[in-house]
Amino acid sequence: MGKGASLSEGVMKKILLSYAYVGIWIFLSFTVIVYNKYILDKKMYNWSFPISLTMIHMLFCSSLAFILVRVLKLVEPVSMSRDLYVSSILPIGALYSLSLWFSNSAYIYLSVSFIQMLKALMPVAVYSIGVLFKKESFKTESMANMLSISFGVAIAAYGEARFDSWGVILQLGAVAFEATRLVLIQILLTSKGITLNPITSLYYVAPCCLVFLFVPWILVEFPVLKQTSSFHFDFVIFGTNSLCAFALNLAVFLLVGKTSALTMNVAGVVKDWLLIAFSWSVIKDTVTPINLFGYGLAFLGVAYYNHSKLQALKAKEAQKKSAQTDEEAGRLLEEREGDGMGKKSDSQA
């Protein structure tokens, strides 16, 4: 009785902790998105410099990551040669900087709710680029699922009250760059046995993002900032915003480490619905019935995608366990045969 009770208490503790990690991640992800929108939107804080904002984030995150890895030594760095850094980290950093720049730029032109609807295309982009790079096998069922998500997003876009073509191009570009980055991580790092958690990822990737963003910043935003003599750097706004962005990376580290990447995908769907509700009720963005219908269709497609991934993971785990069982059975059989042969030779002697 006591043993069963302690077991159920342990299980309950794990479940509650998992929910806590999910809750923290949703809260921080939600906060970063709304905070970025507040800073960049012309009707709110009105600081429409997405490259500068991304560079502030990267500078803050790379500095804190350096302190955690090199000074406090709370996180172990991975062994990284110069060749590996140039061939793997630099292209990933370039894609990450483009993804962040484009996604932050989209907040100037589009509502938070519509951006979340467009982000539903991420599985489509990851799958398509995965097939292109031969990391995913082409399946008719999977492609039909991807088309259903795309169709749902297209309906949501058709029903958007504040549709802006340039904003849509920026957000779709951000999705494409992020999907390519995720596939390249598999090709350039995971296949070589290198795993980066969010802290070591920031430690290696954030500094090169800063360098990549410096070029467009000099050409696009620096001349405008130089003319804006009235601007003064608000340490409270940009400091807390950067801290939230860094805390979000820590939350990803906790969530994926203590649960799984799939849990984060499912939590992401919940976060998207919350953001749509917040955008409509608090920011007063227009969300039309056609918007919701289209996103509902896309949501069902994403849910099916996550379910398929879960089934594939379960099948892989079952296959691994079966192989281990067969290996152990083979080893036991060999040991018994060895013992039998030993006894037989003893009796003959």
Backbone angles phi, psi at 100, to 5 degrees: -65, -40
Q: Determine the average pLDDT of the residues in 134-145.
A: 88
Ranking 80-84, 157-161, 209-213, 228-232 by mean pLDDT, the lowest is: 228-232
pLDDT digits (tens, 9 = 90+) for 286-313: 899 999 999 999 989 988 888 888 787 7
- Whole-angstrom distance, CA of residue 304 vs CA of residue 200: 32
- Whole-angstrom distance, CA of residue 172 vs CA of residue 185: 20
- Whole-angstrom distance, CA of residue 66 vs CA of residue 27: 25
Q: Determine the average pLDDT of the residues in 90-114.
A: 94
pLDDT digits (tens, 9 = 90+) for 199-250: 888 899 999 999 999 999 999 999 998 887 666 788 999 999 999 999 988 8
HSE-CB at 240 with a 13 A cutoff on CA atoms is 8
Q: Decide: helix, strand or coil at residue 49.
A: coil
Q: What percent of the chain has pLDDT over 90?
A: 49
Residue 268: its pLDDT value, please?
82
Q: How confident is the model at residue 115 (pLDDT cuts 50, 70, 90)?
A: very high
Q: What is the pTM assigned to this prediction?
A: 0.83
**What kind and span of H or E run contains 323?**
helix 289-348
Q: How confident is the model at residue 255 (pLDDT cuts 50, 70, 90)?
A: confident
- Give me the chain's average pLDDT, please: 86
